[in-house]
Amino acid sequence: MLKLVRLYLWIFLLPLFIFELLAQDTLNWNGFSLVEFQHNGRSAKVVFPKKAQDSKPWIWRARFWGHEPQVDIALLQKGFHLVWIDVADLFGAPQAERIFTDFYDHLRVAFALSDKVVLEGFSRGGLIVYNWAANNVDKVSCIYADAPVCDFNSWPRGKFSGKGSQDAWKKCLDAYGLSNTQADTFTDIPIYTAREVAQAGIPVLHVCGATDEVVPIDENTYRLASIFKEEGAEFKVIVKEGIGHHPHSLQDPTPIVRFVLAHTAPKLLTEDLLKPAEPTLTCRSGLSQSRQVMEEGQTARVAFLGGSITHMSGWRDSIMHFLEHRFNEANIDFVNAGIPSMGSIPGAFRFRRDVLSSGKVDLLFVEAAVNDATNGRSPKAQVRGMEGIIRQALLANPNMDIVLMHFVDQDKMSDYNNGNIPEVIRQHELVAEYYQVSSINLAKEVNDRILNGEFSWRDDFKDLHPSPFGQGIYLTTMKTALAAWMDTAVQKPTLPSTLLDPYSYVGGGLFDIADAQLQQGWEYRSSWQPTDQLRTRPGFVDVPALVAEGPDASLSFTFEGTAIGIFVAAGADVGKISFEIDDGLPSLIDQFTQWSNFLHLPWLYVLDDELEPGVHKVTIRTTDQKNKNSLGFTSRIFHFAVNSIK
């Protein structure tokens, strides 16, 4: 019976096909044959693969022909056909659906294409893709939508947070025959029709920019994600941090192509399409020195220096278990020198106290990329801090193995997605290269794997303080690196005779506040505790502090070195302080930070780090000035930080 129907259609439609074929133009499109023709008064295109698959799979570009065509080209190379018909200015309205249905029927007969098509909707193309799919669920294999419009009240109307387009909105209302009031309750748009798609089990992939202000992801894609979740249907989202509405697609279309093939032609999934993103590991000097100590069953010391991601339970605990299991004959002493909010600059000044004071260290893990960037440290300071740590470590033990880690946050992902290496990683890598320290760039790996569709930030990794899932990602890569590097015998480089930066904090240390000369207004408290309900950090509560709670308090401190700083607890009540060094002019520092309203934040203010070698005197005064968000004029000093020349 089906054969008779097809024969009838061929006989009935043959004159029309012949007319269209005679009227078509054959062109070259990215190395493939393209035919352009008119179909029922609408411009149409079909691109042919060099060798079509027997099942005749095809992908239908709904809008914006030729824009970011990498997915289309990749599928043509796999034997797909590519089609398009003009439905501009119809915004997925019933007329557009009728055009789609008629063109679908035509293509099925004229080119014997598969009965199920891959729908590809860029931007406003999301409207027609979902509306047509909802009424033709038996004709759709899967949907790939890129920054798609799912609610015309979001775009083009701009009713919520999106920018909107009033010209496009007028055309949209005309296409649907609606008024503004009717549009408020209209339900034939994807945020409603997508439920039919989900119930039919049609798999969906969206690729979106996290900072899209034209078609905001919260107003569009995530509303559909909730529907698919309720229906238990497959809905994947690849979110590009730091990217707006443009550019569409992915530079490397592999995850999109993989998704399409998995739901249309799984036999075409080759190994290169299935492999995960590679970790970014740089082995410069191996870890054979610490391995030897632990293999010989000696007492070994492993230290972890960093911020809250090191301080918290997670990857650090797992690495400890990994080392204990691998070297079960060794007696390993672990030092957790992670303090929340701390980066490389405070790390260089506290390294002697928090790490080296424990004794000879054989293996050091250090991370500071998140806090150095988040805390707004300058590129110059990032080098000075990290070099201060690395050089102090190697001076203390030339055979110390060091692993430098760059953890991920959304700003770093944004940098990578915009074609930039994050500044802090560039600076830390300068130090790592200079001292031949091995490094693990987990920021790049996590972003690469998200773009590869392996997991998401929103649902899986969740935060710069990783979820258990994210901690597992870190651990797996670290174990891979450690296993490889411990078996890599590399000659330990000679410590460079000169500094990368002559003012690096290689002599960093903490000096006792009891040595300060207090004038009026300052009080030495042997065990400071807050009187408000704000949180505190370990090491900055129940310890000695110099406290001044009003203006015009003054103290001085004499030191020998090239840099001077103060460790403070910057809570909601801190004011602006003035300082002067020797006979220099006074400078003003606002102690209040973006976190001060809810935390007595440990903060290192480096007052000057390019002093002439020698003895100096710093004078610090509280003032009657404060940040507009501050509650007072208080200052609390816990340590003086000095880059000593001794």
> Does residue 496 register a pLDDT over 70?
yes
Query: Quick check: is 622 in a domain?
Result: yes
pLDDT in tens, 119-176: 999 999 999 999 999 999 999 999 999 999 999 999 999 999 999 999 999 999 999 9
Q: Is residue 416 part of a domain?
A: yes
Q: Give Cβ neighbours of residue 400 (< 8 Å, ≥ 6 apart).
A: 289, 290, 361, 362, 363, 364, 393, 394
- Tally of structural domains, the chain: 3
Phi, psi of 68 (to 5 degrees): 45, 70
The full DSSP string for 34-102 is EEEEEETTEEEEEEE-SS--TT--EEEE-SSTTSSTHHHHHHHHTT-EEEEE--TT-TT-HHHHHHHHH
Average pLDDT, the chain: 96
Residues 353, 370: Cα–Cα separation, whole Å: 22
Structure-model confidence comparison of residues 297 and 570, the more confident one: 570
What is the pLDDT, as a whole number, of residue 487? 86
- 73 φ/ψ sector (left φ>0, alpha ψ -120 to 50, else beta): alpha
pLDDT at 3: 43
Distance from C-alpha of 83 to C-alpha of 577, rounded to nearest angstrom? 67
Instruction: Say whether both 260 and 334 belong to one domain.
Output: no
- Give the CATH number, domain containing residue 313: 3.40.50.1110
Q: Is residue 366 located within the same domain as residue 244?
A: no
Measured distance CA(351)–CA(437) in Å, rounded: 17
Over range 347-363, report the average pLDDT. Answer: 98
Q: Flag whether 495 is in a domain.
A: no
260 and 297: one domain? no
Q: What is the pLDDT of residue 24?
A: 66
In this structure, of 9-13, 298-302, 491-495, 612-616, the range with the lowest mean pLDDT score is 9-13
Please say which residue of 427, 456, 486 terminates a domain. Answer: 486
Asked if 257 and 304 sit in the same domain, the reply is no
42/1 Cα distance (integer angstroms): 32
- Residue 347 near residue 364 (C-beta atoms within 8 A): no
- Answer yes or no: is pLDDT of 292 > 50: yes
Residues 517 and 565 in one domain: yes
Rounded-to-integer distance, Cα 239 and Cα 506, Å: 41
* 213 has a pLDDT exceeding 90: yes
Examine the domain organization and report whether 475 and 355 are in the same domain: yes
Q: Region 468-486: what's the mean pLDDT?
A: 97
Q: Are 231 and 134 in contact (CB under 8 A)?
A: no
Encode pLDDT of 226-275 as tens digits.
999 999 999 999 999 999 999 999 999 999 999 999 999 999 999 999 99
> Which tens digit of pLDDT belongs to each residue from 306-332?
999 999 999 999 999 999 999 999 999
The answer to whether the beta carbons of residues 534 and 599 sit under 8 Å apart is yes
For residue 2, the model assigns a pLDDT of 39
Residue pair 88/82 in contact (Cβ under 8 Å)? The answer is no
Note if the pTM is more than 0.75.
yes
Q: Is residue 71 part of a domain?
A: yes
**Strand 204-209 relative to strand 140-146, pairing:** parallel
Quickly list DSSP for 310-356: HHSSSHHHHHHHHHHHHTTTSEEEEEEEE-TT--HHHHHHHHHHHTG
> Are residues 560 and 615 in contact, defined by beta-carbon separation less than 8 angstroms?
yes
Whether residue 481 is found in the same domain as residue 526: no
In a domain, residue 271? The reply is no
Structure token pair of residue 449:
């794997």
Shared domain for 86 and 178, answered yes or no, is: yes
The separation between CA 207 and the C-alpha centre of its own chain, rounded to angstroms, equals 15
Q: Strand 635-643 vs strand 508-511: parallel, antiparallel, or unpaired?
A: antiparallel
Amino acid (1-letter code) at residue 586 = P
Q: Is residue 499 part of a domain?
A: no
Report whether 565 contacts 349 (CB < 8 A): yes
Domain boundary among 486, 516, 546: 486
pLDDT in tens, 85-109: 999 999 999 999 999 999 999 999 9
Q: Enumerate residues 6+ apart whose C-beta is below 8 A from 288.
A: 401, 486, 487, 488, 489, 490
> pLDDT at position 189, please?
99
pLDDT tens profile 512-538: 999 999 999 999 999 999 999 999 999
Half-sphere exposure (Cβ direction) of 405: Cα atoms closer than 13 Å = 25
Average pLDDT rounded to a whole number, residues 412-427: 99
Count Cβ atoms within 10 A of the Cβ of residue 430 and give its class: 0-12 exposed, 13-18 middle, 19 or more buried: middle
Q: Let me know if 1 is exposed, middle or buried by CB neighbors in 10 A (0-12, 13-18, 19+).
A: exposed
Q: How far apart are CA 50 and CA 44, in angstroms?
A: 20
Interhelix angle 94-111/2-23, rounded to 10 degrees, is 100
To 10 degrees, what angle do helices 166-176 and 94-111 make?
80
Two tokens at 637?
A: 């000093």
289 in helix, strand or coil? helix
Q: Which CATH number do you get for residue 137? A: 3.40.50.1820
**pLDDT classification of 297: cutoffs 50, 70, 90:** confident
209 - beta bridge partners?
Answer: 240
Buried b (16+ CB within 10 A) or exposed e, 41-52: eeebbbbbbeeb
**Cα separation values, 138 from 109, 135, 200, 230, 505, Å:** 17, 9, 8, 21, 67
% of the chain exceeding 90 in pLDDT: 93
CATH number of the structural domain spanning residue 520: 2.60.120.260
Amino acid 491: pLDDT: 73
Strands (E), 184-310: 204-209, 235-240, 281-282, 299-306
Q: What local confidence, expressed as pLDDT, does residue 11 receive?
A: 47
The 8-class DSSP code of residue 495 comes to: P
- Domain span at residue 578 reads 508-643
Number of C-alpha atoms within 13 angstroms, CB side, residue 471? 15
Instruction: Give DSSP secondary structure letters for 535-596.
Output: B--TTSSSS-EEEE-STT-EEEEEEESSEEEEEEEE-TTB-EEEEEETTPPPEEEE---TTT
521 and 408 in contact (C-beta within 8 Å)? no
CA distance 30 to 98: 30
Question: Over 70: is that where the pLDDT of 467 sits?
Answer: yes
* Residue 472 confidence (pLDDT): 98
Whether residues 54 and 126 fall in one domain:
yes
What's the pLDDT score for residue 23?
52
Q: State the pLDDT confidence band at 488, using cuts at 50, 70 and 90.
A: confident
Q: What are the Cα distances from residue 506, in Å, to 345, 394, 395, 436, 612?
A: 11, 11, 9, 17, 15
Closest-CA residue to 511 (of 567, 446, 459): 567
**pLDDT tops 50 at residue 463:** yes
**What is residue 224's three-state secondary structure?**
helix
Q: Does some domain include residue 602? A: yes
Distance (Å, rounded) from C-alpha 222 to C-alpha 50?
38
Specify whether 573 is located in the same domain as 610.
yes
pLDDT at 14 over 70: no
Q: Given pLDDT bands bounded at 50, 70 and 90, which one contains residue 10? A: very low
Report how far residue 587's alpha carbon sits from residue 576's, in angstroms, rounded to the nearest whole number. Answer: 10
Helix (H) or strand (E) holding 291: helix 288-295
Residue 275 lies in a domain: no
For residues 68 and 211, membership in a common domain is answered with yes
- Which has more pLDDT, 435 or 24? 435
| Residues 32-67 pLDDT 10s | 999 999 999 999 999 999 999 999 999 999 999 999
Domain boundary among 234, 266, 298: 266
Are residues 413 and 559 located together in one domain of the fold?
no
Confidence label for 298 from pLDDT (cuts 50, 70 and 90):
confident
Is the bond preceding residue 247 a cis peptide, omega within 30 degrees? yes
